[in-house]
Amino acid sequence: MTNKLKYFIGNWKMFGDFNSFKIISKINQYAKEHKNAKKSKIVLCVPNILIGFFRKRLKRKSISIGAQNCYHEEGYGPFTGAISAVMLKKMGAEYIILGHSENREEGETAKLIKKKIVSALNQKFNIILCVGEKFIDKKKGKTFSIIKKQINGSIEKNFNTNKIILAYEPVWSIGSKKIPKTKELMNVIRFIKNDFKKNFKTKNFPKVLYGGSVNKNNIKLLSTISEIDGFLIGGASQSSKKFIDIIKNYYK
Ligand code: 13P
């Protein structure tokens, strides 16, 4: 059920400017020099305005740059302020986060996310599709059904599922310093893997990341859940030290 390569994916959210290149550069240096990093895929999903700049400045790239969302229409068009998957790809992004709960909260529906997935797949992006329940759903025992609906509502059976990584991010855990209980988390990750494989008839289990308040202190505990293929890291990815410490402690 486990895939060996571990993912450490940073989601900078609304953060960063030209000076933040320092952070990217230090993480890249670490990735270049440490053998742990060779067992890992390190990706930093940064604001759109910084993607091209970072790609250009980064010499001997050992990490990948990603985007955090895209517009649902493809190519170019009369959509003021919008950025399409093709534009992000041309700037040098290789990964893209879609369906983040912070975007769903703004009204992004499964149908809209599906269109975004289609446009990102057309650009051969590696997609990180976020799913996860709110606290109220958890209380009502609806975690599995919510996740199932989120996945099945935005992925079609004929999609290239090899390009889709799932990220389980319980909404109540994001930025709250709370993480799920180990047993509960393991069960959700297993559920996602089994259900996905069965539903989309894939040869292998999908890769599933965990996201929500990941830090250098809780990563050791999280590392005991071998089914987790990696982590989607918010706040702690905005500091090279905090981000690198997570990787270091994971392999300790
Ligand atoms: P935090 O790590 O800040 O809780 O954010 C998680 C997240 O939303 C990553 O996408």
169 lines ligand 1 (CB under 6 A): yes
d(CA 221, CA 240): 21
Ligand 1 neighbour 11 (Cβ under 6 A): yes
Residues marked as catalytic: 100, 169
Ligand 1 atom with minimal separation from the 233 CA: 2
Distance CA 185, CA 126 (A): 24
Q: For ligand 1, atom 7, which residue shows the shortest CA distance?
A: 234
Phi-psi category of residue 144: left, alpha or beta, with phi > 0 → left and psi -120 to 50 → alpha: alpha
Q: CB count, 10 Å around CB of 186?
A: 16
Residue to mutate, 43, 133, 174, 210, ligand 1, most ligand atoms under 8 Å from C-beta: 174
Q: Is the CB of 235 under 6 A from ligand 1?
A: yes
- Mean pLDDT, range 26-35, rounded to an integer: 94
3-state secondary structure 6-64: EEEEEECCCCCCHHHHHHHHHHHHHHHHCHHHHCEEEEEECCHHHHHHHHHHCCCCCCE
pLDDT digits (tens, 9 = 90+) for 136-182: 999 999 999 999 999 999 999 999 999 999 999 999 999 999 999 99
The CA 99 to ligand 1 mean position distance, Å, reads: 13
Residue 43 beta carbon below 6 angstroms from any ligand 1 atom: no
Q: Give the CA distances from residue 232 to residues 19, 42, 89, 122, 237, in Å, rounded to whole numbers and listed in that order.
A: 23, 10, 21, 24, 9
Q: Is 175 in the pocket of ligand 1 (CB under 6 A)?
A: yes
How far is it, in rounded angstroms, from Cα 139 to Cα 78? 43
Question: Which atom of ligand 1 lies at the shortest distance from residue 97's CA?
Answer: 10
pTM of the model: 0.97
Angle at the Cα of 41 (from 199 to 210), degrees rounded to 5? Answer: 50
Q: pLDDT tens, 36-69?
A: 877 999 999 999 999 999 999 998 899 999 999 9
Cα 157 to middle of ligand 1, angstroms: 29
